[in-house]
């Protein structure tokens, strides 16, 4: 069973990202194509990149980097649950990506994005340039959540049937690409 790691990219107190991730992770577990785990950047709490060497060398001085490296190395595929901030993706997500190099390579990544005005689409378009630099394969099928419609007056996420079917289609495609990329992965 390939291992899917869902990365929660918002670290903000009071964030909605945790609720979006809970909703999506339930669908991913029901899909049963992956062994699903969650990496919450708020809990992982990486400092701003504080390693002296380029991550491609893998010479990590800090325990937090070694732990993060192990978390990402053991995954076969990723889903980024990501907000849009100022038409871009969140700074903690970029920081977490920059910490590592080989650990990301030849792995597909899919996106569950959300935002007030664009459902996070601009953030997703922006991060594709970053992930492809690391030889990751972005999945075209994506869940894009317009928060104005998907969150009720109490701030609770109200997922639609469309969001559910799109999440399943995205997971199907992620599963196909995960199998394909496993064949080109260089053993660590």
Ligand X SMILES: Cc1cc2nc3c(=O)[nH]c(=O)nc-3n(C[C@H](O)[C@H](O)[C@H](O)COP(=O)(O)O)c2cc1C
- Where along the sequence are the contacts to ligand X (CB under 6 A)? 10, 12, 15-17, 83-87, 115-118, 147
Instruction: Please tell me the distance from the alpha carbon of residue 91 to that of residue 89, in angstroms, as a whole number.
Output: 7
> C-beta of 2: minimal distance to ligand X in Å?
27
When CB distances to ligand X are compared, the closest residue is 115
Smallest distance, ligand X to C-beta of residue 140, A: 21
- Return the number of the residue (20 or 137) whose C-beta is nearest ligand X: 20
Torsion sign (Cα): 121, 123, 126, 131: negative
Q: Least distance in Å: CB of 16 to ligand X? A: 4
Nearer to ligand X, 2 or 17 (CB): 17
In the chain, DSSP assigns E strands to 3-8, 35-40, 77-83, 108-115, 137-138, 143-146
**Please, which residues have CB within 8 angstroms of residue 15's CB and are 6 or more apart in sequence?**
42, 83
Q: Supply the minimum distance, in Å, between the C-beta of residue 149 and ligand X.
A: 12
Q: Which is nearer to ligand X, 2 or 83 (CB)?
A: 83
DSSP-derived secondary structure letter, 46: P
SS3 56: helix
Q: 85 vs 106, which CB is nearer to ligand X?
A: 85
């Amino acid at each position: 069973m390939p291992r899917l790691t869902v990365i929660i990219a918002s670290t903000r107190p009071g964030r909605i990202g945790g609720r979006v991730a809970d909703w999506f992770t339930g669908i991913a577990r029901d899909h049963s194509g992956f062994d699903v785990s969650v990496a919450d950047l708020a809990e992982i709490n990486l400092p701003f990149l504080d390693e002296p060497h380029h991550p491609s060398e893998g010479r990590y001085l800090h325990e937090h980097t070694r732990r993060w490296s192990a978390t990402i190395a053991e995954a076969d595929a990723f889903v980024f649950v990501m907000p849009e901030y100022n038409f871009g993706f969140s700074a903690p997500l970029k920081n977490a990506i920059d910490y590592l190099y080989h650990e990301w390579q030849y792995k597909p990544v899919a996106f569950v994005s959300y935002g007030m005005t664009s459902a996070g689409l601009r953030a997703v378009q922006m991060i594709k340039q970053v992930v492809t630099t690391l030889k990751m394969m972005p999945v075209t099928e994506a869940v894009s959540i317009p928060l104005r419609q998907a969150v009720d007056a109490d701030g609770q996420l109200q997922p639609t049937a469309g969001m559910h079917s799109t999440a399943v289609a995205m997971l199907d495609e992620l599963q196909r690409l995960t199998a394909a990329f496993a064949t080109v992965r260089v053993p660590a």
